[in-house]
Copies of this chain bind each other. A is one copy, B any other.
Amino acid sequence: MMNFEEKLEHSLDHLEQSRVKEAMLYSLCAPAKRLRPRMIYSVLKGYGLDESKGDYCALAIEMIHSYSLIHDDLPCMDDDDLRRGQKTCHCQFDEATALLAGDALLSEAFGLLMKTDCSAEIKNDLVSEFVNAIGANGMILGQMLDLISEEQQADVQMCSKIDILKTGCLFSLAMISGCLLAEKKTDKEVWRKIGYKLGLAFQIQDDCLDVSSTAQVLGKSLSDEKNHKSTFVSELGFKKAEKLYQQYFDEIENDLKMCNIQIEPVMDIINQIRHRDH
């Protein structure tokens, strides 16, 4: 049995050898926490199902996450040169290759979804949920608003919207994917809400960690400060921001108890996030 890292390494075996494939693998297989795949697996486990049912979805969502980081790091976006403790894709290769690697990861993610072990109808639902989460009403809108917030200082409400879109949408997607694969469609909207809240908590916590950590510990450049972006800490102050994300984590635990699921597997990952130091 392959572990998730090995599955990632083999997820592009169907592609012809090329510079773009090399760049895709370089970014996809960089050491990372794999939070979103683990969310899919934990939801499946909570519903009493075999984790392997979520494999292709988990690979697809990690590809989406990886594409978004590659494009986010480009000079015309955040212009970062360090990511996950290694050179960003466009620094290791070149801008054009990084652009194409991102495009290709985004495309191939939908191909992997089609390999999922489920009915044709559920595959359709997965595709629709992926598009909702990652498109111009989801993650991409978040990135757009984030860019605009560099020009016009964002208030707390806008910071929340950006974080829900940029991070919450993919967290929701992971949980909804697990829920759809478990054929528990009626729970879908609860998972969406939990995912949004978790994304928000995660990002506020990130803002707090950015202040209390150094680039070395985080393994990435501190581009927010460099770009003079509004953050929850700059808007609310450190103490209030910290209290806010802790409150969201508490709420998530309560929301979960309303779900018809064994909550331990999901709580495991939520607690790992809550108690991280980077």
Which residues of A approach B to under 8 Å, CB–CB?
Answer: 12, 14-16, 18-21, 24, 67, 71, 74, 76-77, 94-97, 99-100, 102-104, 106-108, 110-111, 113-114, 119-121, 123-124, 127-128, 130-132, 134-137, 140-141, 143-145, 147-148
Question: A95-B76, A110-B130, A111-B128 are known contacts. Are A104 and B147 too (CB-CB below 8 A)?
Answer: no
A2 vs B141: C-alpha distance when bound (angstroms) = 28
Asked whether A18 and B97 contact (CB < 8 A) given A108-B135, A135-B108, the answer is: no
Q: Among B18, B77, B96, B121, point to the contact of A141 (Cβ < 8 A).
A: B18
B124 and A114 form a contact (CB under 8 A): yes
CB of A20 within 8 A of CB of B99, answer no
Chain B residue nearest in CB terms to A145: B18
**A56→B189 CA distance, assembly (Å):** 27
Knowing A16-B137, A124-B124, the reply to whether A143 touches B107 (Cβ < 8 A) is: no
Instruction: Give bound CA distance, A76 to B73, whole Å.
Output: 14
Residues of B within 8 A of A15 (CB): 135-137, 141
| CB pair B99 A71 closer than 8 Å | yes
Which residue from chain B places its CB closest to the CB of A12 in the assembled complex? Answer: B136
Asked whether A127 and B140 contact (CB < 8 A) given A96-B77, A108-B135, the answer is: no
> Within the assembled complex, what's the spacing in Å between the Cα atoms of A95 and B99?
12
Q: Is the CB of B107 within 8 A of A16?
A: no
